[in-house]
Amino acid sequence: VPIDASDGAALLDVRPLRMPIDGVHASALRDTFTDGRPGHTHEAIDILAPRGTPVYAVDDGQLVKLFTSVPGGLTIYQFDPDGRLAYYYAHLDRYADGLREGLKLHRGDLLGYVGSTGNASPDAPHLHFAVFRLGPEKQWWKGVALNPFAALHRAAKP
């Protein structure tokens, strides 16, 4: 059974997300979700910030995977409280102390720090933030990408 992206968008619309980086104004956000990248579509929002800027959990839920990948560098996968959405934080410089898989997260918990690990340009540190609608198998690496721009825009300062 294919995962329904419209169902995912509706789920995302009702989650009261927090901006993952403090002090980001709505006007600073750019919708880069459909931008092209070498060989694929971006399917995320990049939030520019100085290296070392704290990154916070956007929602309650569970930290399901700490992962280092070639494209994403140091990454975190978090599920929402119902396990229907996955939040993906990438290009981190480092993780927060004490972070571990299985940790119960609360909206606003410190996760790590902005960086440029993976395939990010070293001179443009940023948080690559993505949201996925999970299937019934709840596979952190697999889901339908949802555009988080509107949810982040609502969470940002005016």
Instruction: Give the mean model confidence (pLDDT) for residues 102-109.
Output: 97
> What tens digit of pLDDT does each residue of 55-79 get?
999 999 999 999 999 999 999 999 9
DSSP code at position 15: S
Angstrom distances, CA of residue 82 to CA of 1, 27, 56 = 19, 31, 19
pTM, two decimals, is 0.92
Pick from 54, 12, 14, 7: nearest CA to 33: 12
> ∠ CA(145), CA(17), CA(153), 5° rounding?
80
Q: How much is the pLDDT for 34?
A: 85
